[in-house]
Structure 1
Amino acid sequence: MRKSILGGLLAATLLTCTAATQASAEPALRLPRPTGPRPVGATTLQLVDSSRTDPWVPSSGARRLMVSLWYPASAARGPRAAYMTPDESALLLKGEGITTVPPDTLSHTRTDAYADATPARGRHPLVVLSPGFSLPRSSLTSLGEDLASRGYVVAAVDHTYENFGETFPDGHTTTCVVCDLDQTPALARKLAAGRAADVSFVLDRLTGPRPVWKGGISASRIGMAGHSLGGDSTAVTMAADPRVRAGVNMDGTFNTPVTGLSRPFLLMGTAVMHTPTSKDTTWSDAWQHLTGWKRWITVAGTQHSSFTDLHPLADQLGLAFGADISGTRAVQITRAYVGAFFDRSLRHRPEPLLDGPSSAYPEVTFWN
């Protein structure tokens, strides 16, 4: 189920001059700047679902989730939001076997969101993001910030005990309990069902009668996007929760068969894994059961995690990534097509980019 999260990075070495990177605990890492016109705010929420015991560590009690919110801010002022904690950075690098950079390296990544900035007025569409198996919610920050700069509220969910490291407000950091289990399709289906329950709970807390966040959310305009297992979980969530009006699967195998979705859906993947003739036939199978508006595209030159922040960060660290395009270009393409999809599906705006091949993005092939 779990693809090599960082492609060829498991045995990677720094390809550029390593002296400056290893001498400092704060390399100059930064995410690509958002493309929208609005300043971006960010905050974090700890949510406790008292109706469910944690499915992976029952002794921990109720299911606890950490959520990052990005949103249009009223002004561009204040300190920048943190990317991840030092513990989360150390555990992610350790999990991928990367020892050529200081353990806290990723925690020094510069973001473009302002911590706890005042939300802009108005009610905005909501997009939920679900990361790949073993990856933290922060791996989708560049996409989350960009959508927020375009007028969306974005909620990225850490699915506790399913990622290498997740730090809670009291300072304790959980690890990936599920990573030690046999990686079978049955486990993948259980994970996706659990993630669907996580997302429905998050929607309850964000859009219910007593929302935990005071910014404006349009509860009738909700979408979801996920990478890898998060993409599989997007379809499972949509099948279970009609509030999610549109979904995106970024290079995720459908471990749970799609039996019928009449709402808009975008399949966006690598040319290696997800063309109609690829060994992974789950997209071809799902395509027949997506009965609403749909698109199937692949991006040449990418690998599995090119749709996350890991690609541009690896480039900046001089790490081999196993892709033929740059991380900056991969982020640009991901943002363009995911943003266009939600503008079309949740805002009902015409988006010619989704009508067929574009000279601006020759890497993208349409399969529908």
Structure 2
Amino acid sequence: MRKLVGILILGLMMSGTASATDNRVDGLRPDAPELAASGKYAIGVRTLQFVNKGQTDILKVEADKPLPIYDRPLTVEVWYPSDGAVRGGKYDNVYLRDGKTQVTLYGQAARDAVPENAEAPYPLILISHGYPGNRFLLSHLAENLASKGYVVASIDHTDSMYHDKAAFGSTLVNRPLDQKFMLEEMDRLGKDPNSFLNGLVNADDTGLIGYSMGAYGSVITAGGGVTKAATELSWGAPAGTLERMMAGSEKHKALLDDRFKAIVSIAPWGMTYGFWDAEGLAGVRVPMFFVAGSVDDVSGYEKGVRAIFENTVNADRYLLTFENANHNAAAPIPAPAESWKPVDNLDFVPFEHYADAVWDTLRMNNITQHFVTAYFDNHLKADDSMQSYLAIIETANDGVFALEKDGTPKPEHNYWKGFQNRTAKGLRLEYRSKAN
């Protein structure tokens, strides 16, 4: 009886903990670094539908037959600065990792709010989720950046979502193509008098945030052509359909676009499976900010994300490492309450898809918001003051926090700017300049 009561109490405690979060994507811990907080703008959000015509239908490719063509549908969530909208809103019918359960998420964005038209259009940021995922997986970053004067478009990648997950080859081929297509479409809408985005978005200054397979796509988009071996994998893209991303090919060169000015690549997948080599990664020309967990067992760390970082020698780049974090470092929203329960079509609890065994998700989100703000403000808004948040001592554990009573730093103070005392533990930020 005592054991049964204990189990019931524990269950109630866990249930209370989960529901207390109210499925919010916009949390801010008291120990969050300085730039993690929301910006001055209220936020609007709208859902848009696009069709990329004349694409190869990877799911229907057959050996020795002409490549089948279809019109590829893409749903996109767009966040933007709003004119006087009340902060607060929700996202309904959002699929969880099991592809069946639908939930409601809560945040700061108001549905269909009136845009805030500034003197100049806002820089554009695209978000590209993992495999599987959806357009809301990084919605905390989308809202945060929109509140700081960006238009943010997060893509639902067809064949890569929780509820429509299909053959991996579709993700391999379509991920960078979707990213380029959405850049084109957002640029078009920014000049369309009939669109609410008219005059609101500046696609000439575009950033990209990719996570896992979205980050795989971001490396290709940045100029990292894949190896020939990667195009021939039996479990990869069929019938040579990945060859258009091969290093040195004319088709890959045609995919590159100088409107991409800065890229955040979180746990990029592919290096440990031979998708890149030093020659291919030398093609990266866009400044990169890599993020990784040091024990990532999906994308790999030393031979995975770090190897990509070290070999992108022709681009300025950073690597932010969360010590002892796994593949979920820095990207997903906090696990929705409904994901805490086991499901019958997965051999793991969906909670594991969003969470890390060591790091608190909200803590990682706040740290990522801080650095992504500094990085994009510096590269997309030419705000040189943000460099001081990036030009910091490499290993946070080596930092010394020493302030006078009035808050002025003592000579020995070299703690990470924007972090409270003791709050940067377990982090490392490395920088490499591009080759001359």
TM category, shorter? 0.7 to 0.9
- Hey, what's the Cα distance between the residues in 1 that align with 2:194 and 2:219? 26
Normalised to the residue count of structure 2, the TM-score between the two structures is 0.66
Match of 2:98 in 1: 93
Aligned 8 A contact 1:49 1:63 in 2 = yes
Is 1:17 matched with 2:12? yes
Match of 1:341 in 2: 375
Task: Kindly provide the amino acid, as one letter, of the partner of residue 217 in structure 1.
Answer: V
Match of 1:5 in 2: none
Match of 1:237 in 2: 221
Match of 2:4 in 1: none
Is 1:61 matched with 2:61? no
The verdict on how the C-alpha distance between 1:285 and 1:176 changes in structure 2, with shifts beyond 3 A counting, is closer
The verdict on how the C-alpha distance between 1:278 and 1:207 changes in structure 2, with shifts beyond 3 A counting, is closer
Give secondary structure in 1 for the equivalent of 2:203. strand
Per mean C-alpha deviation after superposition, the further-off stretch among 48-57 and 130-139 is 48-57
Task: Kindly provide the amino acid, as one letter, of the partner of residue 147 in structure 1.
Answer: L
Structure 1 residue 328: deviation in Å? 1.5
- Hey, what's the Cα distance between the residues in 2 that align with 1:15 and 1:353? 42
- Identify unmatched segments of 5+ residues in structure 2: 1-8, 28-36, 62-67, 224-255, 342-350, 394-415, 432-436
- Hey, what's the Cα distance between the residues in 2 that align with 1:192 and 1:316? 27
Please give the per-residue CA displacement for 1:50-94, whole angstroms capped at 9, x wherever unaligned: 232543368893100000101111112387241x515x23xx235
Alignment of 1:140-179 (within 5 A): 140-165=138-163, 175-178=164-167
Is 1:76 matched with 2:94? no
Match of 1:110 in 2: 106
- Hey, what's the Cα distance between the residues in 2 that align with 1:211 and 1:267? 37
The verdict on how the C-alpha distance between 1:15 and 1:288 changes in structure 2, with shifts beyond 3 A counting, is farther
Match of 2:54 in 1: 51
Aligned 8 A contact 2:44 2:114 in 1 = yes
- Hey, what's the Cα distance between the residues in 2 that align with 1:211 and 1:261? 35
**Count of aligned pairs between the two proteins:** 321
Structure 1 residue 303: deviation in Å? 2.6
Structure 1 residue 284: deviation in Å? 2.0
- Identify unmatched segments of 5+ residues in structure 1: 1-13, 96-102, 166-174, 182-186
Q: Work out which of the residue numbers 171, 183, 196 in structure 2 matches 1:214.
A: 196
Larger relative contact order (CA 8 Å, sep ≥ 6): 1
Give secondary structure in 1 for the equivalent of 2:325. coil
Q: Work out which of the residue numbers 273, 285, 292 in structure 1 matches 2:296.
A: 273
- Hey, what's the Cα distance between the residues in 1 that align with 2:222 and 2:430? 23
Per mean C-alpha deviation after superposition, the further-off stretch among 286-295 and 337-346 is 286-295
Per mean C-alpha deviation after superposition, the further-off stretch among 354-363 and 140-149 is 354-363
Normalised to the residue count of structure 1, the TM-score between the two structures is 0.77
Give secondary structure in 2 for the equivalent of 1:117. coil
Alignment of 1:121-140 (within 5 A): 121-122=117-118, 123-140=121-138
Task: Kindly provide the amino acid, as one letter, of the partner of residue 44 in structure 1.
Answer: T
Task: Kindly provide the amino acid, as one letter, of the partner of residue 121 in structure 1.
Answer: N
Structure 1 residue 296: deviation in Å? 1.3
Larger Rg: 2
- Hey, what's the Cα distance between the residues in 1 that align with 2:325 and 2:14? 29
Q: Work out which of the residue numbers 256, 263, 267 in structure 2 matches 1:251.
A: 267
Aligned 8 A contact 2:267 2:305 in 1 = no
Structure 1 residue 316: deviation in Å? 9.6
- Root-mean-square deviation (CA), in Å? 3.3
Structure 1 residue 306: deviation in Å? 3.3
Q: Percent identity?
A: 23
